[in-house]
Structures are given as C-alpha cells and as structure tokens.
C-alpha cells in the first residue's frame, strides 16, 4: 500500500504482552518471514464491529479460540523478528488483561519493552498499560474513584520522568490520541477494516483477530481513561516543551537558476500530481503518450488515463476542504494549540457516531491517497530549478479495492509497469520516487475483503502466487531502466523489510535505494521500518509540502523521507549528468552521517555535493 503519512491520531493503541519464554527450542519451526506464520480462520456471525462490542460471554468464546492458536504459535515456532514477537506478545497481554490476569500482564511490559530497539520506544513502550495495570492491582478494581486516583498518580509519575529530548514526539502524539480517540473511533476502525472481510468471507483471519482483540481491550479498558491522560500529557508538554533543533536547513543545498545546470527529469511513481501546482517544474514531452505530455497514468483497472491526478467524485470534492482542516487540526492539537482547526478535528471525532466516523475513514483513504503524490513531488523538487516532474500514476491501495484480485489484473498492471519503465529509460528519467510498497499479507487482506479463497490456507496460497507475480513485475521494471535511480520508502510498520518482504523496499538492486524516516532532530521515528536494504534516513516527520489546489500541509511517514533522497539525487544529477545510479548512491551514502549506535545514516546534501565537487576536481588534469 502507499506509504503515506503515518498519521498520529488515527492509530488504535496497542498494549503490551507477557512472554512465557524467549528461549528457542530445537523442535520449533523456524519463521523466516511474515508469510511463514501459520494462518487460522475464526467464523463471525453478524459483523466484526458488533463482536467487538458484544457481551463478555460472546466475545470470550471468540477470544478463547484466538488464545489457543496464539499460544500454539508462541510454543511451536521460533521467531527471531522482534517486531513480530512484540505484536504476538502484545495480543497475548491484551487477552490476559481482558481475562483479569493483571499481574501477568504487568510483568510482561518490561519483557516486551526489552524487545524494543528504538530509543523512545525503550522508554515509552507499555507506559499506559503499566499505569493502568498498576492501578487495577492497587485499587482492586478497574473503575471508580480509587482506581482513577491510582491511575492518575502512576501515569503522571511515569510521564514526568521521561526526558523530553527523547520522548517529546511520543508525548505529543499520545496527547493527540487522548484528545481525539474514543470508543466510537475504535468501533469505526473495525467497521472500516474488518466488517468487509466478514461480509464477504464470514470470518476473520488471525491477523485480523489479533487486531480485534487489541481493539476490544482499548474499548473496554483504554478509552475510558483518555479524559485522565490528556491533562497529564498536556501539562508535561507545556512544562518541557522546547523546540527540537532542526538539523536539515544546515544540510540543504539550494541550486540557483544562474548556475545553468542540466535539467533533470524526476518521476513521481505515485497517486498522481496536481500539475497546476508546479508549472515551472513540469516536464512536457514533445512526444505525447496515450495519457498526454507529462508522463503516463493508469486507472484502478490498469487502463490508460488522461488524468494526471486521481479523480474524486463530487461528494469527495465537497469533503476535501473539511478533510484538510481536520488534518491541520490534528497537528494543532499535537502542538497544544487551541485553533479553530483543532476544535473542528476534536468535534469531528468526539461527537460523531461510529458510522459517521467510519464514513470519514472511508473518505480518508481516498483523500489521503489523492494528496499523496502532489505532496511527495514538492519535496522532491524543492531548491532545484532544474528538476522537471514526470507523472507516473497508478493506484496502489490494493487491500481497499472492491474487486477480487486476479492473475489477469496483476499481469495487466505488470504490463503498465513495464511501459512506465520503458518511458523512464527512453526519456532519460534520472530518478524515480516510489513512496509505496506491498507484501504478501496485503494480498491476503485483499482476498479476505473481497471473498477470495475458501479458507485461510487457500487464501494464503493464492496471495503468495499473486505477490510473486507482483514482486517480479516491479523488480523487472526497475532492472529494465538501469540508468535510472529508483528511491523507495522503507515503510511505516516499524518492521524489518526483509521479514515482511515488502516490495520494492526489500529488493537488492544496484539502482535502488530504500529510505527510513527520522524527525527534524535526526532521531528515528516510531513508525519507520528498517533493515539491511534501508541504507539512509531522511526527514519524514511533519514535512511541509504542497497538496492539490496549491495548499500546504505537513505529513509524516517514510513517504516523505523518500523524496528527500530523490531531492538530493536530482541535484547531484543536475551538477553532473554523467553520474550513474550506483555513483549517486555512493555519494549519498558517503555523505550521510551515522548515529552513535550506527543504526541511522542521515543524509547530508552539502557533504554529498562537496564529495562530488572534490571528485570532479581530482579528475582535472594537473598543470
């Protein structure tokens, strides 16, 4: 799916888990990828959104089956991937808390926290769950005045002890969640993501079931505490708020039109671009394609399109201004600003019914996608008057398509990708941004939502088949344009790209580089994925750029980090058109600065450009 903004306020909180044993047993089956995990199916009568709100007896019958299968995975399989372990064990802790095993869940928080690898997560993981569980044990109740006092005391002490320079972003995001998230939002999320699968397949798979368990725990035990959490987080933010240093302006390079450099074609392989926003940085091809003179565009079925931007219905166009205001309001709440936009966002989420919020979530999928490519384009060409934008439009929201995935559809899109690749090669496009990616699980979800496959095993097999074709078509397209540098987002799932098999970010190709996201101070974001193919990191936190209509917005995600590297590459190609993709990657990597622990490699445009100048000087004849 598109690796667009990792929006802060719409994620349902995940709680942390107990782990019976982390010692691998020789008899356990080794799990090498996410697709190797066993799959199960849980029949659901009615809807998932009704089940998550059902009486205890009804839900517990469902939860018992999930618990048995989960324990079978933990006891029967060796899983080295820490992200996957965190997810599995978090579900186990949710089940423990829901069943009243509070001491076991509390002990699990520190164990699961030990699996965290990012500095902020090591301090904040399970903090809310710990305060809540401690309060239950102290007050011997899950509600009431004594419980509220105990929770407030424990949560305040835990939050106030956090160092702002490490936990500041977490605090702001948590405050936004406490202000906006609710039981209604949680139910709406289930309506949006899981009800379609139940309608078509009559069941949930284990990945969906684990998420439903987490949502039940939030509905029952988390959401009621938001009114207590919000003031504590607000006080912490106001007491400690100091703007983080912004390292990026000192690293940026701005090219001047007076340098008379070589125009560089920069393709945005994405959801399309509002070309009217970039009239002076738009490529106009003297040889028109079936789509027009600015590149290639394809609709959801893979047929050629003459629209450079994803098309909205009249109703979606009408919703767009409110959507922009809510996005702005979420960021204002995060900054503790009581603006009209912030008030509108809070009203939207705190007063609407689950069905009304569900309708908003459905609009969010379309409108977020609609804005995505234009936003990435602005990041890719800023400070570079020689960049010329090429449109390569298609829809990568696979699991949200209403039609069943087929071999024919995948082959058709593969042919589209080949045409795009041919276009990049024949028009001498130097760098392509790919802020999207797909993995086998996405194809399984798509099949589940559209009624494909009679059972989990059949869906898994078909998903692997479709994914293999999809992966091969993307890999072939990149290989087919060897003189073009492809830059892709690492992903926003806080996972190892090799384990999830996300494509293109897990591919090893000489003309491809994957990018992780850090914030303005160069610190790793909570959402960024990682792995051996993620070679550098760039700013991906609240990055400002243009969206359709010429408005500006700040989005977060590895989608915003990837075009930051495209920006640097395009400047290098403008300065030296003879560079190969491999040479550009080398300059980008050697110019990057490593974090003290070696985990991050922050791009530095100035250093990379200086390296290029030094190498060009060294090649000049000596007098």
Reported as a single tens digit per residue, the pLDDT across 145-167 is 999 999 999 999 999 999 999 99
Pair 14, 90: CB distance under 8 Å = yes
C-alpha to C-alpha distance for 270 and 390, rounded to whole angstroms: 11
Q: Which fold has domain 257-618?
A: Rossmann fold (3.40.50)
In this predicted structure, what is the pLDDT of residue 107? Answer: 84
The answer to whether residue 49 scores a pLDDT higher than 70 is yes
Instruction: Write down the pLDDT at residue 618.
Output: 85
Per-residue CA distances from 473 to 205, 468, 533 (Å): 28, 9, 19
Closest CA to 86 of 109, 105, 65, 67: 109
- Listed in sequence order, the DSSP H helices in 576-623 are 581-591, 605-618
What are residue 383's phi and psi, to 5 degrees?
A: 70, 15
Peptide bond into 268 cis (omega under 30): no
**pLDDT value of residue 2:** 57
Q: What is the pLDDT of residues 94-120, one digit of tens each?
A: 999 999 999 999 988 888 888 999 999
Q: Is it the case that residue 221 has pLDDT exceeding 70?
A: yes
With cut-offs at 50, 70 and 90, classify the pLDDT of residue 267: very high
CA distance 293 to 245: 42
Q: 480: which residues sit within 8 A by CB, 6+ positions away?
A: 418, 421, 422, 425
- pLDDT above 70: percentage of residues in the chain: 96
Q: What does the pLDDT read at residue 444? A: 93
Does the pLDDT of residue 491 top 50, yes or no?
A: yes
Query: Residue 3: its pLDDT value, please?
Result: 53
The per-residue pLDDT of the chain, averaged, comes to: 93
The predicted-structure confidence for 321-354, as pLDDT tens digits, reads as follows 999 999 999 999 998 998 999 998 998 888 899 9
pLDDT surpasses 90 at 184:
yes
Give me the residue spans of the domains in the chain. 29-240, 257-618
Average confidence (pLDDT) over 252-276:
97
pLDDT tens-digit readout, 573-590: 999 999 999 999 999 999
Q: Which value, to the nearest 10 degrees, does the dihedral of the CA atoms of residues 434, 440, 444, 449 take?
A: -10
pLDDT in the model for residue 623? 64
Q: In the predicted model, is pLDDT for residue 20 greater than 60? A: no
What's the pTM? 0.93
Which one is predicted more confidently, 2 or 187? 187
- Record the tokens describing residue 128, joined without a space: 């809310």
Beta carbons within 8 Å of 101's beta carbon, 6+ residues apart: none
Res 24 pLDDT > 90 = no
């Amino acid at each position: 799916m598109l690796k667009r903004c990792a929006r802060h306020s719409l994620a349902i909180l995940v709680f942390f888990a107990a782990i019976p044993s982390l010692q691998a047993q020789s008899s356990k089956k080794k799990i090498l990828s996410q697709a190797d995990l066993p799959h199960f199916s849980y029949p659901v009568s009615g809807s998932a959104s009704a089940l998550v709100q059902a009486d205890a007896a009804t839900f517990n019958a469902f939860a018992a089956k999930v618990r048995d299968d989960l324990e079978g995975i933990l006891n029967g399989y060796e899983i080295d991937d820490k992200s996957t372990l965190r997810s599995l064990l978090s579900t186990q802790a949710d089940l423990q808390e829901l069943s009243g095993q509070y001491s076991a869940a509390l002990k699990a928080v520190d164990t699961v926290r030990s699996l965290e690898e990012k500095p902020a997560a090591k301090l904040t993981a399970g903090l809310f769950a710990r305060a809540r569980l401690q309060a239950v044990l102290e007050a011997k109740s899950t509600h009431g005045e004594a419980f509220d006092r105990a929770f407030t005391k424990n949560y305040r002490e835990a939050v106030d002890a956090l160092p702002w320079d490490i936990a500041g972003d977490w605090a702001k995001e948590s405050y936004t969640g406490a202000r906006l998230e609710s039981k209604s939002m949680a139910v709406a999320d289930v309506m949006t993501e899981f009800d379609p699968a139940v309608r078509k397949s009559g069941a949930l798979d284990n990945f969906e079931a684990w998420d439903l368990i987490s949502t039940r725990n939030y509905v029952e035990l988390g959401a009621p505490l938001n009114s207590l959490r919000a003031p504590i987080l607000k006080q912490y933010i106001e007491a400690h708020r100091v703007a983080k240093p912004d390292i990026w302006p000192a690293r940026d390079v701005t090219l001047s039109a007076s340098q008379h450099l070589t125009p560089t074609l920069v393709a945005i392989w994405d959801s399309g671009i509002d070309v009217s926003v970039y009239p002076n940085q738009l490529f106009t091809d003297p040889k028109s394609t079936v789509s027009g003179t600015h590149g290639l565009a394809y609709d959801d079925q893979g047929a050629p399109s003459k629209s450079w931007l994803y098309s909205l219905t009249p109703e979606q166009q009408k919703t767009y201004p409110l959507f922009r205001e809510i996005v702005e309001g979420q960021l204002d709440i995060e900054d503790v600003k009581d603006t009209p936009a912030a008030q509108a966002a809070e009203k939207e989420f705190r007063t609407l019914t689950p069905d009304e919020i569900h309708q908003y979530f459905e609009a969010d999928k379309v409108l977020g996608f609609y804005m995505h490519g234009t936003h990435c384009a602005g990041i890719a060409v800023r400070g570079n008057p020689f960049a010329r934008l090429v449109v390569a439009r298609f829809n990568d929201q696979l699991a949200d398509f209403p039609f069943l995935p087929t071999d024919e559809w995948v082959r058709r899109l593969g042919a589209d990708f080949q045409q795009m690749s041919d276009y990049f090669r024949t028009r001498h496009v130097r760098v392509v941004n790919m802020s999207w990616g797909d993995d086998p699980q996405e194809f399984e979800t798509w099949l589940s939502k559209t009624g494909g496959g009679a059972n989990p095993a059949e869906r898994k097999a078909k998903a692997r088949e479709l994914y293999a074709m999809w992966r091969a078509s993307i890999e072939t397209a990149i290989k087919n344009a060897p003189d073009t540098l492809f830059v892709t987002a690492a992903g926003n799932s806080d996972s190892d790209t090799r384990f999830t098999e996300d494509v293109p970010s897990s591919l090893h190709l000489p003309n491809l580089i994957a990018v992780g996201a850090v914030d303005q101070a160069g610190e790793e974001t909570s959402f960024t994925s990682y792995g051996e193919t993620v070679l550098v990191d760039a700013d991906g936190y609240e990055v400002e750029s243009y969206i359709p209509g010429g408005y500006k917005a700040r989005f977060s995600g590895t989608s915003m980090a990837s075009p930051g590297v495209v920006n640097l590459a395009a400047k290098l190609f403008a300065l030296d058109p003879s560079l190969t993709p491999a040479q550009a990657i080398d300059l980008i990597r050697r110019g990057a600065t490593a974090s003290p622990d070696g985990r991050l490699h922050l791009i530095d445009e100035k250093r990379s450009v200086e390296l290029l100048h030094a190498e060009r000087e060294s090649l000049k004849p000596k007098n």
